[in-house]
Amino acid sequence: MGADQPVSNVAISEEEIRRLLRQAASDVHARAWIVGGYVRDQLLGRPHPDMDVVVEEGKGFDVAGRFAELAGARQPAVFERFGTAQVTLPGHLVEFVSARAESYDPGSRKPDVRPATLEQDLRRRDFTVNTLLMDLDGRVHNPLGSGLADLEARLLRTPADPVQTFADDPLRMLRAIRFAAQLSFELAPDLVPAMRRLKERLTSPVVSIERVADELRKMLVSERPKLALELLDEAELLEVILPEVAACKGVQQGGYHTHDVFGHTLLTVAGTPADLIVRLAALFHDVGKPATATADGSFIGHEVAGAETAAQAMARLRFPQKEVDLVALLVRLHLRPVFYSPEWTDGAVRRLARDAGSQLGRLMQLARADIGASAYPHREKLDELQARLDAVLAEEPSRLAAPVDGEDIMRVRQLAPGPEVGRIKQRLTELVMDGVIEPSREAVLAYLESHPTV
């Protein structure tokens, strides 16, 4: 099928993909195997829609092209330098590579590749649990002899010396930590020392910032994000990729806190749901404390400093600006629910709802995790605050904004456009929030006409 011809959007089953792979390999007289994460996750009972296919005797491109034809897909995307080709199907990405060996320039993680035997190909891969093969009839093979045992033991080991494995591709250090957090694996004892030795290679241009950020994302939304952060710290990689968080180590705090700022941060992250924005906000919520710490143990303004620091860190890691803005907002507001008391007026509750806007639910999740990561005795107060927030959000008509616009204000006050119009509108909104003015257009206009100094 040509690249300009339509491709079916009907999902194809994994069994059908294997059947088409079997036919494609037969048609070009090649031996092909499914390898890596798909095989591993099949055995772990986890979904893994993408497949990596290794083809012997240099026929990877041939099998890829024939498979695309049989599947009614567009022609493969070919990456000549790396000897790989990708075929995209609805819900699946199938990547083909000829069995290869690799060598690396010290200043890059991009390999120079050369043909190799299947065993040589497997020995240059990242971890033994990713060296398992599946034939195209669905049977699993363990050619190196260690993959199945390590998978059963939930042990992450490298097929070669870990120093060589990580030197070849430093991103594998982060992948190891991510797999530990994501798949509940333990790291072999020689992995963390190798990471410490090679930590300086985990920087651009050897590893792109975008790839580092992608691994960080996956760690944070994994089942064990706290473990991922602990392993980053143990491997001395935290200082490399998240120096703002590493600076929280050893910063002591009093009150109901039971840990230093770093330890409290880890507990807060662990207490959040698996939502990337909430977990990023938990990760950065106290990064302003090292810079604002005083001799008496207070951290005045740390939420403002923290929002700025979080935004700078995320920008450095090249997170999308929308995500940067959301996390900075949550960090800046994170103390508001924590400091709630029953003495708050309804106006104060409305202001919190207004300021948090669409992120109010995430802000409350962050607050619950923040309080839960301490010995604070009155956690139920957040339930009361939530009930009050629900009540003010349900008000009809809403009291979160004055139901007039700048044109109304200019007409009644006979003003030209300018900052005074915005000031008056903000004041009217505050009066509506506090219940001084009824939340109707008529009531607000009447108040505006009868109160010339508002």
Looking at the structure, tell me whether residues 114 and 33 fall in a common domain.
yes
At residue 2, does pLDDT exceed 50? Answer: no
**Contact in structure between 306 and 283 (CB atoms under 8 Å):** no
**Last residue of a domain, which of 188, 210, 241?**
241
Q: What is the rounded average pLDDT of the residues 294-306?
A: 94
CA distances from 423 to 151, 410, 440, 445 (A): 64, 12, 19, 15
Q: How far is CA 369 from the centre of its chain?
A: 18
Question: For residue 272, how many C-alpha atoms fall within 13 Å in the half-sphere facing its CB?
Answer: 31
Q: Is residue 83 part of a domain?
A: yes
- Tens of pLDDT, residues 82-102: 889 999 999 999 999 999 876
Pairing of strands 186-187, 100-104: unpaired
140-141 β-sheet, strand order:
77-79, 84-89, 92-98, 51-55, 32-35, 133-134, 140-141
Q: Is residue 307 part of a domain?
A: yes
- Tens of pLDDT, residues 161-206: 999 999 999 999 999 999 999 999 999 999 999 999 999 999 988 8
Looking at the structure, tell me whether residues 159 and 42 fall in a common domain.
no
At residue 10, does pLDDT exceed 50? Answer: yes
How far apart (Å, rounded) are the C-alpha atoms in residues 259 and 255? 11
Q: Is residue 232 part of a domain?
A: yes
Q: Is residue 416 part of a domain?
A: yes
Q: Is residue 400 part of a domain?
A: no
**Contact in structure between 399 and 392 (CB atoms under 8 Å):** yes
- Pull the structure tokens for residue 311: 């935004």
At residue 7, does pLDDT exceed 60? Answer: no
Looking at the structure, tell me whether residues 427 and 304 fall in a common domain.
no
Looking at the structure, tell me whether residues 45 and 74 fall in a common domain.
yes
- Tens of pLDDT, residues 337-391: 999 999 999 999 999 999 999 999 999 999 999 999 999 999 999 999 999 999 9
Looking at the structure, tell me whether residues 21 and 126 fall in a common domain.
yes
Could you tell me the CATH number of the domain that includes residue 177?
A: 1.10.110.30
Could you tell me the CATH number of the domain that includes residue 74?
A: 3.30.460.10
Give the number of other CB atoms < 10 A from CB of residue 106.
Answer: 7
Mean pLDDT of the chain: 94
Phi first, then psi: give them for residue 113, nearest 5 degrees.
-110, 155
Give the pLDDT band (50/70/90) at residue 8. Answer: low
Range of the domain at 196: 154-241
Looking at the structure, tell me whether residues 272 and 338 fall in a common domain.
yes
- Pull the structure tokens for residue 59: 């026929």
Q: Is residue 335 part of a domain?
A: yes
**Last residue of a domain, which of 241, 274, 299?**
241
pLDDT for the residue numbered 201: 93
pLDDT for the residue numbered 109: 52
Q: Is residue 115 part of a domain?
A: yes
pLDDT for the residue numbered 92: 95
At residue 6, does pLDDT exceed 50? Answer: no
How far apart (Å, rounded) are the C-alpha atoms in residues 307 and 309? 5
pLDDT for the residue numbered 241: 97
Looking at the structure, tell me whether residues 12 and 94 fall in a common domain.
yes
- Pull the structure tokens for residue 383: 């339930």
Instruction: Quote the number of domains for the chain.
Output: 4
pLDDT for the residue numbered 284: 98
At residue 146, does pLDDT exceed 70? Answer: yes
Q: Is residue 401 part of a domain?
A: no
Give the pLDDT band (50/70/90) at residue 3. Answer: very low
Give the pLDDT band (50/70/90) at residue 43. Answer: very high
**Contact in structure between 264 and 222 (CB atoms under 8 Å):** no
Question: For residue 158, how many C-alpha atoms fall within 13 Å in the half-sphere facing its CB?
Answer: 24
Looking at the structure, tell me whether residues 134 and 171 fall in a common domain.
no
pLDDT for the residue numbered 110: 63
Looking at the structure, tell me whether residues 302 and 356 fall in a common domain.
yes
Looking at the structure, tell me whether residues 266 and 359 fall in a common domain.
yes
Looking at the structure, tell me whether residues 104 and 184 fall in a common domain.
no
Adjacent-strand bridge partners of 104: 111
At residue 35, does pLDDT exceed 90? Answer: yes
pLDDT for the residue numbered 356: 98
Q: Check: pTM over 0.85? Answer yes or no.
A: yes
Looking at the structure, tell me whether residues 187 and 147 fall in a common domain.
no
- Tens of pLDDT, residues 312-323: 999 999 999 999
Give the pLDDT band (50/70/90) at residue 1. Answer: very low
**Last residue of a domain, which of 153, 184, 200?**
153
